[in-house]
Amino acid sequence: MAARGRARRVTFVATFEQRVVVEEAHLDDQRHVNNVVYLQWVQDVAVAHWQTVASPAAQAMIAWVALRHEIDYLAAAVLGDELVVHTWVGPAEGLLFERNTEVRRAGDGRVLARVRTRWCPVDATSGRPRRVPAEVRAQFSTA
């Protein structure tokens, strides 16, 4: 018997990363990467992950709001360092999605910062919290 209809293809990207080279504009008065810059990288990699994996339809209906960031700074990044900003989505419970991010120095693999962020999906038009379809949840969440 032949299969009917089309099988839906679900893309699952467990992790995602971007590379960054530390520039003069990233530095603070102590000549290492400013705390605010780390948050910008966390935001940038999360958005890039979403835009790479989520369908255009999902992107049109769902936006994300950060509710909380927890950052552990473990070592300094300095001018010229090449960094790997690596992210993945952990458990999702109801309207809360946990996203983890690590910033590593590419040269020696040393973890410079670990970040845990809690995100809430919202309707892209109204800004109100909304549930995400099961297919989207399966693409991003580990649970």
Q: How confident is the model at residue 10 (pLDDT cuts 50, 70, 90)?
A: very low
Helix (H) / strand (E) element for 56: namely helix 56-61
At 4, which amino acid appears?
R
How far is the C-alpha of 46 from the C-alpha of 33, rounded, in Å?
19
Do 59 and 29 form a contact (C-beta atoms < 8 A)? no
Structure tokens at 110: 């040393």
List Cβ neighbours of 96 (8 Å cut-off, separation of 6 or more).
Answer: 67, 118, 119, 120
How far is the C-alpha of 141 from the C-alpha of 137, rounded, in Å?
6
Q: Which domains does the chain have, with CATH numbers?
A: 15-140 (3.10.129.10)
Query: Is a pLDDT exceeding 60 seen at residue 119?
Result: yes
How confident is the model over 67-104, as pLDDT tens digits? 999 999 999 999 999 999 999 998 888 899 999 999 99
| Single pTM value for the model | 0.86
